[in-house]
């Protein structure tokens, strides 16, 4: 069933990508003169840096979570080289257990901009990311089992490395002068973690819960774009 | 056109991005199923058992079956340790022992469910049975469909 869900999600993304191409073909009635990009087109025109508002909001409303994330991108013609860096921690107190984790992560990848002719440099993109996280976690478990007896045990995982892949989609819009806002939707999958002898990881910073074969994520960004050169 | 597609994709993504919480029933995968078979032809071999039992870490007897004629049994493994020894007492006062060895790892599930224990790397240690065949090295959860983990030929 999880493999079927992954195929459905990838099919939807591919179908969406294809629909954009067909839409552009149907809308074009004028004769287009295609010009090949030159090396000068690949010189960056600006660097955009920002922060994720949802991480702050999540920490405010969900007392067990704390985190932040920054992102940056630089344009190379219609491609955007993207980099995210963040940190998050959880402190969850349950009825029979206490779970804590803390770690940092980064993602690096490339996006394709489908609004390459927009004069304001607005961006609608599809992209891919590789993510990596290093984190530590602790579980204090209390077991009361009528068959096997009682147990109170502490488990620790230190410096666990997690890696995953993401497909991304989003929008970045110029609001006023150098200030931008946008969102990024993420489909995360292919999570792998380093070996942990006593306890299986529960939550990987930057990815999410490990009990799912794939995971959806969403960021809402406020950004500043610093021009490098005039186009 | 592009903007319409962008907004559509935004709402589509939001609609499928909801999280689902796990259920809390029978989280540990600590069940094994044993099928008893005839050594000559591999058909099911029903055996009259006086009892099938083990001991927990407090040395208390855990009785799973009593006075039953069975060709298939489902046995729970102790997820608080890495080994469970079962004693099979037959109607003719004979008894057999079977040792299961495995790796048990804890994992946090949620604040409402607490933790679970994930068993893997199942193997057979000491046994007095003549012929034992391990079909799967991962036990299953009580809430899932049972599958034969081990075949014992007599």
pLDDT: which is higher, B63 or A229: B63
**Would you state the pLDDT for residue A8?**
53
Question: How far A99 CA lies from chain B's nearest CA (Å)?
Answer: 7
Closest CA to A112 of A84, A76, A70: A76
Give the closest of A149, A155, A218 to B106, CB-based.
Answer: A155
How many angstroms separate the Cα of A210 from the Cα of each of A46, A166, A189, B74, B108?
Answer: 37, 15, 10, 29, 10
Which phi and psi angles does A174 have, rounded to 5°?
-75, 125
Lowest mean pLDDT among A98-107, B84-93, B97-106: B84-93
**Would you state the pLDDT for residue A33?**
60
Which two structure tokens, joined as six digits, stand for A105?
């992560």
**Would you state the pLDDT for residue B16?**
46
State yes or no: pLDDT of A29 exceeds 80: no
CB A182 within 8 A of CB A173: yes
Which residues does A19 contact at the CB level (< 8 Å), separation at least 6?
Answer: B5
| pLDDT band (50, 70, 90) for residue B43 | very high
**Would you state the pLDDT for residue B49?**
93
State yes or no: pLDDT of B35 exceeds 70: yes
Q: Which of A8-17, B3-12, B62-71 has the highest mean pLDDT?
A: B62-71
Alpha helices in chain B (DSSP H): 2-16
pLDDT: which is higher, B3 or A1: B3
Question: How far B52 CA lies from chain A's nearest CA (Å)?
Answer: 15
Instruction: Please indicate whether, in this complex, the C-beta atoms of B112 and A95 are within 8 angstroms of each other.
Output: yes
Which two structure tokens, joined as six digits, stand for A209?
């819960």
State yes or no: pLDDT of A142 exceeds 90: yes
- Asked if ipTM goes beyond 0.85, one says no
* Mutate which: B21, B108, B117, B138, vs A, most A CBs within 10 A: B108
Q: C-alpha dihedral over B101, B103, B109, B112, to 10 degrees? A: 40
Lowest mean pLDDT among A208-212, B1-5, B32-36, B40-44: B1-5
CB A170 within 8 A of CB A184: yes
**A116-144 mean pLDDT:** 94
Model confidence, pTM: 0.80
As a whole number of angstroms, the distance between CA A228 and CA A46 comes to: 5
**A127-153 mean pLDDT:** 95
**A35-64 mean pLDDT:** 87
Beta bridge partners of A107: A84, A131
**Would you state the pLDDT for residue B18?**
46
The mean of the pLDDT values for chain A is 86
∠ Cα A17 A18 A19 (to 5°): 95
Which residues does A165 contact at the CB level (< 8 Å), separation at least 6?
Answer: A128, A129, A130, A131, A188, A189, A190
Question: How far B129 CA lies from chain A's nearest CA (Å)?
Answer: 25
CB A204 within 8 A of CB A198: no
Beta bridge partners of A85: A70, A106
**Would you state the pLDDT for residue A38?**
81
State yes or no: pLDDT of A28 exceeds 50: no
As a whole number of angstroms, the distance between CA B64 and CA A163 comes to: 43
């Amino acid at each position: 069933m999880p493999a079927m869900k992954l195929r459905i999600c990838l099919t939807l993304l591919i179908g969406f990508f294809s629909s954009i191409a067909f839409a552009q073909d149907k809308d074009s009635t004028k004769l287009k003169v295609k010009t090949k990009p030159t090396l000068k087109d690949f010189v960056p025109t600006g660097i955009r840096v920002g922060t994720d508002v949802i991480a702050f909001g999540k920490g405010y409303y969900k007392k067990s979570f704390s985190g932040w994330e920054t992102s940056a991108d630089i344009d190379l013609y219609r491609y955007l080289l993207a980099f995210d860096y963040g940190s998050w921690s959880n402190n969850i107190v349950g009825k029979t257990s206490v779970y804590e984790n803390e770690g940092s992560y980064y993602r690096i990848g490339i996006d394709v901009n489908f609004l390459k002719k927009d004069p304001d440099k607005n961006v609608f993109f599809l992209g891919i990311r590789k993510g990596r996280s290093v984190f530590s976690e602790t579980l204090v478990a209390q077991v009361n089992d009528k068959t096997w007896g009682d147990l109170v045990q502490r488990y620790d995982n230190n410096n666990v490395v997690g890696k995953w892949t993401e497909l991304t989609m989003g929008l970045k819009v110029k609001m006023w002068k150098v200030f931008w806002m946008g969102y990024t939707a993420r489909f995360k999958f292919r999570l792998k973690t380093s070996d942990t002898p006593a306890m299986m990881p529960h939550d990987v910073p930057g990815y999410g819960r490990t009990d799912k074969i794939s995971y959806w994520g969403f960021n809402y960004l406020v950004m500043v774009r610093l021009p490098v050169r005039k186009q | 056109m592009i903007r319409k597609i962008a907004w559509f994709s935004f709402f589509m993504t939001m609609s499928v991005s909801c999280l689902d919480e796990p259920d809390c029933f029978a989280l540990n995968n600590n069940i094994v199923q044993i099928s008893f078979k005839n050594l000559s032809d591999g058909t099911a071999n029903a055996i009259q058992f006086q009892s099938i039992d083990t001991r927990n870490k407090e040395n208390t007897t855990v009785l799973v079956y009593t006075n039953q004629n069975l060709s298939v049994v489902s046995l729970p493994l102790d997820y608080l340790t890495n080994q469970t020894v079962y004693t099979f007492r037959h109607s003719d006062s004979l008894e057999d022992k079977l040792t299961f060895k495995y790796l048990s790892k804890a994992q946090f599930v949620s604040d409402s469910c607490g933790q679970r224990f994930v068993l893997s790397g199942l193997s057979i240690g000491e046994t007095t049975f003549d012929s034992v065949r391990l079909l799967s090295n991962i036990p299953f959860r009580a809430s899932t469909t049972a599958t034969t983990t081990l075949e014992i030929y007599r």
